[in-house]
Amino acid sequence: MSSILNLLGPLLFFIPKNLLSWLTGQFAAMPWPSPLKGWILRRFASHYNLNLQEAEKPIDDYLSVNDLFTRRLKSGVRPIEGDWVHPADSRLSQVCSIEKGVLLQAKGITYGVNDFLKNDKAEQMFQGGTALTYYLCPTDYHRVHSPCAAQVSEVNYIPGRLWPVNDWSVSHIPQLFSINERVVFWLNTQWGEVAYVMVGATNVGKITLSFDQEIVSNIHPIFPRPQVKTYSPTIDLAPGSEMGTFHLGSTVIVLYPKGAPLEAGRLPLGKPVRMGENIYKGHVQ
């Protein structure tokens, strides 16, 4: 799908992407009668090369494409390697220093941290910090997790467009991550506040949270409503705690403050990583 979107990227200016994504989500969640269901799920798994050996259940136990796509994994297949880990099966596509409120989207393309997080204090909060961008392709496991011990203090759902987040869009759509819909988690950590952002994309039917069923993205494709929810008491997370699910693929961006002792030069930039691996480790396939 990524290669098709790269080729057809310019045509997406004329396509109602939010409606298309909502319809895709509805179709993916549709239960199918047997044996048609088995044929559809196996075709889907084969097309996207899903690793069913790691899946929690046999393929015939899943009710729909969405049910299979958002599958949980067997216990123990993603061991948590320490106190600071990668949050998702993905590719670490970007690492950037945060200076003067600017984040790096791609070579020569930037976006503003205040607009991205919808917080006028973000520039000051993250000055001198580091942002890590993780791209999830359709093959990947699509539940995302906490990178460290943290407490969730607030979640902010920000409606927006649903451009793809593939290479073409990242290189051609200014302010892409600030335009697309997203869910911002505000995390209290030992280093200060961390912003953890799940960014929606074309054909991401919705984003759901693991600890709060009230916040769901893209429920209404025409008139979405922003949501802000504060948690008191806060919600405790351990490294590797499940946080949310992409119902079809997308991107996670984590913004760390200056106080986080992150050695950017040691990070596996451009390489595949797995949830739970030590943050300085890339996954050897």
Which sequence positions are flagged as catalytic? 89, 145, 250
Specify the residue for token string 């051609």: 172
Three-state secondary structure readout of the chain: CHHHHHHHHHHHHHCCHHHHHHHHHHHHCCCCCCCHHHHHHHHHHHHCCCCCCCECCCHHHCCCHHHHHCCCECCCCCCCCCCCECCCCEEEEEEEECECCEEEEECCEEEEHHHHHCCCCHHHHHCCCEEEEEECCCCCCCEEECCCCEEEEEEEEECCECCCCCHHHHHHCCCHHHHECEEEEEEEECCEEEEEEEECCCCCCCEEECCCCCCECCCCCCCCCCEEEEEEEEEEECCCCEEEEECCCCEEEEEECCCCCCCHHHCCCCCEECCCCECCCCCCC
Q: What angle do CA 68, 71, 73 make, to 5 degrees?
A: 140
Q: Which residues pair with 189 in a beta bridge?
A: 192
Q: What angle do CA 25, 26, 27 make, to 5 degrees?
A: 90
